[in-house]
Amino acid sequence: MAITGASGSIYGVRLLQELPGEKMLVMSKIAKMIVPRETGMQIGEVEALADKVFDDGDLFASISSGSFEYDCMFVAPCSESSVAKFASGISDTLISRAVAVCIKEGRKVILVVRETPKSAIMLENELKLARCGVVIMDANPGFYSEPRSVGDMVDFVVGKCLDRAGIDHDLYKKWE
């Protein structure tokens, strides 16, 4: 699980709260500035939601190697700057290296992309990643579940992420 420097850090926090099993977390430098401002949580509180925390500059961390196996990688929120790095194969941080490893190893990667509107460059980068099997999950809540709060809208997007990872949840009312 990674949190990058786009607005929408609540998506990463909610994923950490809802994901079952062992959770590993990496936050970018900018994410660490945005998280307290948007969520009111201190970085230590967010890190406490994970079982293991890595520094984004630690390219020797276990998750930077293809031999370290894990089921799925979420990047939530995912900045378009990060998308551009991933699409170009740039692996200069632990987050970008871990995503590159997941792509080369055929592991599930789910990016909760938050920026809008999108330029043609952004769309091309997302298309390139989608063609590599990466799930591009725009942070667009649905309204058929009749959300009553911002939390409900966040839970809808987080629930969609969990759906794509094959994880059962009850975060939103599914279409019947």
Average pLDDT over residues 147-156: 96
The identity of residue 168, as a single letter, is D
Residue 22 confidence class, pLDDT cut points 50, 70, 90: very high
Within 8 A by CB and 6+ apart from 46, the residues are 3, 12, 13, 16, 25, 27, 35, 39
Asked if residue 56 has pLDDT above 90, the reply is: yes
Give CA–CA dist 126/81, Å, rounded.
Answer: 11
Query: Bridge-partner residues for 55, per DSSP?
Result: 27
Residue 174: the pLDDT is 83
102-129 pLDDT per residue, tens: 999 999 999 999 999 999 999 999 999 9
Domains of the chain are 2-164 (3.40.50.1950)
Residue 173: the pLDDT is 84
Average pLDDT over residues 60-88: 96
Q: What is the largest CA-CA distance in the chain?
A: 47
Listed in order, strand segments (DSSP E) in 120-173 are 135-138
Listed in order, strand segments (DSSP E) in 36-168 are 52-55, 72-78, 108-113, 135-138
Give CA–CA dist 66/53, Å, rounded.
Answer: 18
Average pLDDT over residues 153-163: 97
Asked if residue 176 has pLDDT above 80, the reply is: no
How high is the mean pLDDT of the chain?
96
Residue 25 confidence class, pLDDT cut points 50, 70, 90: very high
Q: Do 59 and 100 form a contact (C-beta atoms < 8 A)?
A: no
Give CA–CA dist 18/106, Å, rounded.
Answer: 24
Tell me the pTM: 0.96
29-44 pLDDT per residue, tens: 999 999 999 999 999 9
In what helix (H) or strand (E) does residue 100 lie, and over which residues does it extend?
A: helix 94-105
